[in-house]
Each structure stands twice: as structure tokens, then as C-alpha cells.
Amino acid sequence: MRDAAPTTIHLKDYTPFGYLVDEVHLTFDLAPDATRVTSRIAFRPNPEAPGHRFFLHGEELRLIRAAIDGAEVTPEITDAGLTCAAPDTPFVWEAEVEIAPAANTALEGLYLSNGMYCTQCEAEGFRKITYYPDRPDVMSTFTVRINGTHPVLLSNGNPVDSGEGFAEWHDPWPKPAYLFALVAGDLVAHSDRFTTVSGREVDLNLWVRPGDEDKCAFGMEALKKSMRWDEEVYGREYDLDVFNIVAVDDFNMGAMENKGLNIFNSAAVLASPETSTDDNFERIEAIIAHEYFHNWTGNRITCRDWFQLCLKEGLTVFRDAQFTSDLRSAPVKRIRDVIDLRGRQFPEDQGPLSHPVRPESFQEINNFYTATVYEKGAEVIGMLKRLVGDAAYAEALDLYFARHDGQACTIEDWLKVFEDVTGRDLAQFKHWYSQAGTPRLTVEEAWQDGTFTLTLSQDTPATPGQPDKLPQVIPVAVGLLNPNGDEVHATEVLELTQARQSFSFEGLAARPVASVLRDFSAPVVLDHDLSPEQRAFLLAHDTDPFNRWEAGRSLAGQCLLDMIIEGTAPDTAYLDGLVAVLRDDGLDPAYRALMLGLPSQSELAASLQQRGLTPDPQAIWDATETLRQATAQHMQDLLPRLRAEAQVDAPFRPDADQAGRRALGSATLALLSRLDGGAQAAADFTRADNMSLQLSSLSCLLKAGKGEVELAAFYDQWRGDRLVIDKWFGLQVAMAAPGQTAETARRLSAHAEFNWRNPNRFRAVFGALAMHHAGFHHASGAAYQLLADWLIRLDPVNPQTTARMCAAFQTWRRYDEGRQALIGAQLDRILAQPNLSRDTTEMLTRIRG
Ligand code: ARG
Ligand code: ZN
């Protein structure tokens, strides 16, 4: 499919396009096997980039006719696009191409999902629709006519005309082609209206397949909340007469912010109490907000080139996190985000796929929609805000919108508004965008004559292509507690700018306990050598909710590492501290549920590796099981009381309060099931009237080696609901014992309902397999082989999803030689496949190292 020598694109090679586009007119004559796309595009030479050849991207297109100013031309065509002689004065380009949406299984460009036409153009999918300068710095207005028999025909912008078999749309806001969208199908709308702050009436529609109407209400409410929030918090108003959202079953990612026509993976928008868990609700609310917020951070102000992806993604993730914190619980959101960062971004940053928040080169840009660009990108914005303060942040954002509206920008433009507003030099801060790797922050303490001194040092390990690192600006939020538990020094942000630096606190009556990196003020690995007693003290007294949780987490982590390394018994300091926190009914149930969590097994493996040890996945599993069992026994008397506090008596609402109770209920049930063999879980399953309870009780049963009857009942109840059946597939893999995980995944992949071409279904099984640490890394190597078999099968069909799943292997160098040999053999086997996609080739080559 692809040529043998892939080309690498470099940030430093950026040059503007030689032409400006004033207007785009597109006509689509829809047909599954031969859709005709007619384009009429007004070009004029770009005065800032004179003398360039006229090159248009285009892939997998059949060119039927091309003309310049009405005169037919014969361009030179390659796999990547076409070149043509063009005048050095304004001209009109016309082209007619044919494409085959029904044959498009890669889900990029125009494709069919359950008979419905839809598009995904970010990052470089528009070039599979027609010949065009498919780069984000080329912006134009679009007018689109769709000819088709489908009842619903949608594109970007405002509707201008429609009738029997056609619809016409006009988007007045200049945009790059990656924000183009088209949808045609037999869809029904859940509709509402929104009046913007200045009085603009906006029609809101959430379009779904008939049968899904009852899963729209929550998404619509989330949309209206997002629109209001962006007005109130960022002063950003919506700018079209309509806002359409469409749910699509076959989608590579979560969702896409196309101007005025957001397209969502149905899993990221459809919700009902019977079919969605509380986590689903929260995620859906956040994704709706995320895509809506892109209207300003992404669409009105877009990216100059794809290296600047974090400009829109980091900022928009940061904004959606602020939104969730405002609507729900800020500490709970922060803790969940840090768990996610450590679970997905740290392994990436600390392994062969490590890359800066702003990468400097790529072969396939789709491989850089990563946790580093998104989540670390958001952390970088959080640090910037912490350093300049809330007021300066707000001022800088106002300036950003005022100065750059309608432009395609860079990280330099972004930092410049902060420099102009604050007068600060952000040259050193910029290293956060260019240096890969997770800095390690080491804390040393000294105490003398009433002065407490913290010496902070930073060190960022070498990463691929970056052997040496410069010190970064690290905002370290610190508070001090008295031995009696009172706070003697409120949170202060220390600015660490050197490799090693000391900060003193004077006039203290007694040696304090330091609470360092409060609110996780920087995405670093903290190395603060506290005793178990000090950690237990912070767990009991820290006024910073994040660090209080973190104290419990690190106690648990230390306890598990001791069990794994020394074979010791579970530490009672941890168990007693945990019981004390769980007893405190003044604490939010959601927060207490988080307290019951343990560091993930993959995180423990990373900690062992950082101590120079080789992690044994089975030993990590065993220690975790032992600690869980000990926790259940230690908390036995408390469990009934926690269950009572977790009880929800009111009718179901997917809000933070009820979700928190259910989370505590589910964490408690998991412990109880270790003591009663699943009796309570079986009862809960029978009475469950919402998906959270149904799924958590079923998972307890499976964990206990039971639940066969319930699993079958669940399947029968939900066989018509594809999103719930995804859960049914995933749960069985997730709950399997390590020795059974690969076999469970294999058995499920032979199930009649395992439609592997659907990314959600594929990920339900194989994503769960990759996430099951002890199961995936079982010494037999069966899981490695099974995953490789399926990646080989999926790659020709859907390179993007295949390449993403390759990340399952990114931590392979952590493990013993035997496992490395097993994984290495699978990586080589995949790489040896003829015609392997550019996406997968790049990922595996980087992982192989
Ligand atoms: N811009 C979208 C979002 O973050 C993600 C689209 C990514 N698509 C892709 N094929 N890489 O909301
Ligand atoms: Zn985004």
C-alpha cells in the first residue's frame, strides 16, 4: 500500500502554501461505490510565498476532469497528490473526482457506517475526498451542496437551501479542510434551542439512528451547559445559527469538532441510566464540552501545522477539565486526571514512544494524537496558569482571542500573549514544549534553629533523540503542617528553575511536615523520602485534598513494593490510616472511593524498574490480591456502614453526588465480595436498575470465579444494544485470572458478535487484554501472540486503530529477557508483513528502538 521508504516531516521545514484560497464550493453526488465530488475553488498567489508550484494533496481519488479558469488541464498525478501549471494571478480551479465510501474501512475521509455517510478529516483525511491544499494553515469559507436521497443531509455552517434530494450549506467562518464534515443518513434529531449571551438564537440538534432517541437528553444538557460555561468563564459566544452533533457507530477516536457539525463516536455521546455507567456519563459530558470548546480553541483559532497540535488540544483538554471541576468536584476531577496521566502519559513519556508536547518530526501525524500532546499538553497550561496567576491568565486568554481570531497559530504565538501580558520571559518555560520525558523531582529536607529548608532538584532522563536535558521551570506547590496537624504555612508555589535550589521557611516553632507538589502542580515523578509515619500523618491531616489522597496512595504503593521485594505482610499503618479516612463521613463518598484505589499494576512495574529491579507481573498481581484481601478483612466491620452511606434513595441522576455514592458502593462491594464469596453481588445484580450497579456487581461475581448465569442473562437483556455488548465483551477479559486472560480474549474474538472491523468492539476485547497487566504479560506469551495476530489482520483494514493498539507493547523493555524475547519476536513478525501501513510501521519501529 505504502512506499517502502517513509518520509519524515520536520517542524523546522515549515513553509507557507504558495496560494491563498478565497472560496470553496463542493458538490457531492452520493453513491456508495462511486460518489462524485465536484469542486470549484478560488485561488490566488500568496504574496508571502511567491513562486511556489501548484500542488494539491489527493489520495485514493479517481480524477475525472480538471480545469483552470474553465480550460481543461492535465495535471501530473502521484500517490500523494497532483501538480499543475497555474497562473500567477487569481484563478478558479475545478475538479471532478470519484471516491468509494463503501470500500473505505479505514474510517478516514468519507465513509459509510451502518448505511450512513459520514466523514473524519482530521488530520489529513480531506485529501481522500478531493484534491486540495490539505494543511491547517490554508483557511477558506465553504459552500457545500449534497445530492442524495437520504432524509438528512448535513454539512458545516448554516443551512441555505434544501429540497427533494438535496441540501446546501454555507460556512461563513474561514476554516482549514480538516474541519470539513458531511453526514447523510436516515437519522432522527433530539432538538433544543440556546440563546447566546448577545441574543443569538441557535438551533441545537443531536442526530442519532432511529431507536437511540432515548439516549440523547443527557448529551443535549451537557451541550447547553458547555455553551453557557464558555460564555461565562472565557467570554466565548457561539457564532452560527445551528449546532449539530451526530452519533456514529464506526469511529476511530472519541469525537471530532468539525465546525457546526461535531461528529461523535456513539460511545462518546449516547447515554441512558439503564445502559451507561456513571463514568460514561462524566466522560460524555467532558467530551461534549471538549468538542464544543474547540469552536474557539481550535476552529476560530487553529494550528499553523500539525506540530502545533497541542496548541488546540492541550488548551481544550485544560478547558474541559476546568468545566468538569466546576460542575462536579474539583479534587475528585484532579485525582482522576492524575491517575489517568500516570496510567497513560507516564508510560509513553518514559518509554520508546516518548516525544515532546510539541513533536519535531513525524511520519504519520495520526500517531501523535497522544496522551503527551493532549494530557501533558493540558498540564503545561495548568503550570503556566499557576505561574502567572488567575488574573493574568484571564487577561492573556482575552488577548489571545483578540489578537489571533481567524488565524492559524503556533506555540510561539501562544506564549507571546503571556509574555506581553505579564512581562515575563517564558524562554525557559518553553522547554516544557520541546523536551520529552518526565522530570524527576527530588526533595531533601533540613531543619535547624526554627528554619526549615527544602532543597529541590530536578533531573529529566534521556529520551529517544534527546540525550541531555536542560532544567525546566517547575511550579512546586508546598504547604507545611505542624506536628499537631495544623497548617503553619499555607500553600505557596515555589518556582524551581535550576537543577538544584533551596527554599527556606523561617520562624517555625517545631519541625513541620512538608506537603510537596500539592494539587499535583507539575507533571513530574516526585521523590520525597517520607517515613510511613509521615505519610500516615499527611493522610490524616493534609489540608490539600490531592496530597491527602496522594499520601494514602504512596503508602499503599510502598506497602505493595515491600510485599513484592521483601515478601513482607501488608502494612498496618496503611490499613489503619485507610480505615480512619473511610470512617470520616464528612468526606465526599467519591473521594473516599478514590482512597480505596491502589496504584495500578503497570505503575508498580514502573516503580520497580525505576529501582533497578525487573518486575514480575505475576508477583505484582499476587501482592495486589493479598493486599486487597487484607483490606477487606481489616475493614470488615466498616463495610456495612459504608454500604449504608453509599445508598442512593432518590431516583437515578447521573450527577456527582449520586455517582460518588455509587462509586463508594461499588468499591465496598468489591471488598465485601472477597469475604462473602459474591453473595451480596449476586443480590445486587438482581435488583440493579442502572448500568453502574449492574456492571459492578457482575464484575465482582466474575472476579470471584462466579457469575456464569448472570453473564448470560446480561447478554440476553442487552443483545440489541451495541454499546452495552461492548461492555459485556470487555468485562470478561478485564475480570479474567492472569492465566485465563488470553484464552478469554481468543474465545470472545470467535464470538458471532465480534465485529472486529468496528473499532469500539475491537478495543473492547483487545484494549482490555492490553490493560490486564498480569494477563497480557503472562509468561506463556499467549497474549502477545494473540494481539499480534489481530494487529496483522486489522492493519490492512484500519491502520489508525491498529497503530494505536501497538502501544500495548511500549513498556516491553521493563520486563525480563524471556518476555522481551517473546515480545520482540511478535514485533518482528508484524513488521515483516508485506504492505504494512505507514501508521503501524512507524509505531513498531519506534517501539522496537
Ligand atoms: N480533534 C479531535 C479531538 O480531540 C480528535 C481527532 C483526531 N483524529 C485522528 N484521526 N487523529 O477532539
Ligand atoms: Zn480535541
CA of 838 to the centre of ligand 1 (A): 18
Q: What is the pLDDT of residue 1?
A: 42
Is 262's C-beta closer than 6 angstroms to any atom of ligand 1? no
Is 322's C-beta closer than 6 angstroms to any atom of ligand 1? no
SS3 state at 249: coil
Helix crossing, 782-794 with 759-771: angle to 10°?
160
**Closest by CA position to 269, among listed 251, 255, 259:** 255
DSSP-assigned beta bridge partners for residue 496: 474
Write the CA distances from 140 to 172, 175, 679, integer angstroms. 9, 5, 63
Closest ligand by atom to 312 CA? 2
Is 303's C-beta closer than 6 angstroms to any atom of ligand 1? no
Q: Which three cell numbers stand for residue 15?
A: 513553509
Average pLDDT per block of 10 residues along the chain, 849 residues long: 72 98 99 99 96 95 98 98 97 98 98 98 98 98 98 98 98 99 98 98 99 98 99 99 98 99 99 98 99 99 99 99 98 98 98 98 98 99 98 99 99 99 98 98 98 98 98 98 97 98 98 98 98 97 98 98 97 95 97 98 98 98 98 98 97 98 98 98 98 98 98 98 99 98 98 98 99 98 99 98 98 98 98 98 97
CA of 281 to the centre of ligand 1 (A): 20
SS3 state at 768: helix
CA of 305 to the centre of ligand 2 (A): 15
Closest ligand by atom to 316 CA? 2
Is 378's C-beta closer than 6 angstroms to any atom of ligand 1? no
Phi, psi (rounded to 5 degrees) for 645 = -70, -25
Q: Which three cell numbers stand for residue 419?
A: 509574555
CB of 300 within 8 A of CB of 406? yes
Q: Evaluate the omega torsion of the peptide bond into residue 783 and state whether it is cis, within 30 degrees of 0.
A: no
Closest ligand by atom to 106 CA? 1
Nearest residue (CA) to ligand 1, atom 5? 256
Is 265's C-beta closer than 6 angstroms to any atom of ligand 1? no
Nearest residue (CA) to ligand 1, atom 7? 122
| CB-based burial, 765-779: b 16+ in 10 Å, e otherwise | bbbbbbbbbbbbbbe
Q: What is the pLDDT of residue 221?
A: 98
Residue-wise pLDDT tens digits, 53-96: 999 999 999 999 999 999 999 999 999 999 999 999 999 999 99
Nearest residue (CA) to ligand 1, atom 8? 122
In degrees, rounded to 5, the angle at the alpha carbon of residue 228 between the alpha carbons of residues 226 and 231 is 110
- Within 8 A by CB and 6+ apart from 325, the residues are 333, 334
User: What percent helix, strand, coil does the chain show, rounded to 5?
Assistant: 45, 20, 35
CA of 548 to the centre of ligand 1 (A): 35
Nearest residue (CA) to ligand 1, atom 1? 256
Nearest residue (CA) to ligand 1, atom 11? 366
Nearest residue (CA) to ligand 1, atom 12? 256
Ligand 1 atom at shortest distance from the alpha carbon of 313:
4
Burial status of residue 58 (CB atoms within 10 A of its CB: 0-12, 13-18, 19 or more): buried
Which strands form 513-516's sheet, in the order they lie side by side?
Answer: 487-496, 474-481, 513-516
Beta strand segments in 35-139, E: 35-45, 54-57, 62-68, 71-72, 76-77, 81-84, 91-99, 109-113, 116-120
Q: What is the pLDDT of residue 2?
A: 43
SS3 state at 26: strand
If DSSP states are collapsed to H, E and C, what string results for 513-566? EEEECHHHCCCCEEEECCCHHHHHHHHHHCCCHHHHHHHHHHHHHHHHHHHHHH
Q: Of 94, 108, 282, 291, which one is the catalytic site residue?
A: 291
Mutating to test ligand 1, I would choose from 120, 253, 296, 297 the residue with most ligand atoms within 8 A of its C-beta, which is 253
CA of 784 to the centre of ligand 2 (A): 31
CA of 823 to the centre of ligand 1 (A): 29
Q: Which three cell numbers stand for residue 268?
A: 462518546
Is 122's C-beta closer than 6 angstroms to any atom of ligand 1? yes
pLDDT above 90 as % of the chain: 99
Residue-wise pLDDT tens digits, 189-245: 999 999 999 999 999 999 999 999 999 999 999 999 999 999 999 999 999 999 999
Active site residue 237: no
DSSP-assigned beta bridge partners for residue 408: 302
Is 299's C-beta closer than 6 angstroms to any atom of ligand 1? no
Nearest residue (CA) to ligand 1, atom 2? 256
Pairing of the two strands 54-57 and 81-84? antiparallel
Rounded CA-CA distance 765/744 in Å is 9
Write the CA distances from 250 to 264, 358, 419, 545, 648, integer angstroms. 10, 29, 43, 40, 35
Is 268's C-beta closer than 6 angstroms to any atom of ligand 1? no
Is 516's C-beta closer than 6 angstroms to any atom of ligand 1? no
Q: What is the pLDDT of residue 51?
A: 83
Residue-wise pLDDT tens digits, 291-315: 999 999 999 999 999 999 999 999 9
**Closest by CA position to 734, among listed 716, 712, 756, 711:** 711
Is 505's C-beta closer than 6 angstroms to any atom of ligand 1? no
Is 369's C-beta closer than 6 angstroms to any atom of ligand 1? yes
Rounded CA-CA distance 429/472 in Å is 6
DSSP state of 437: S
Residue-wise pLDDT tens digits, 38-54: 999 999 999 999 888 99
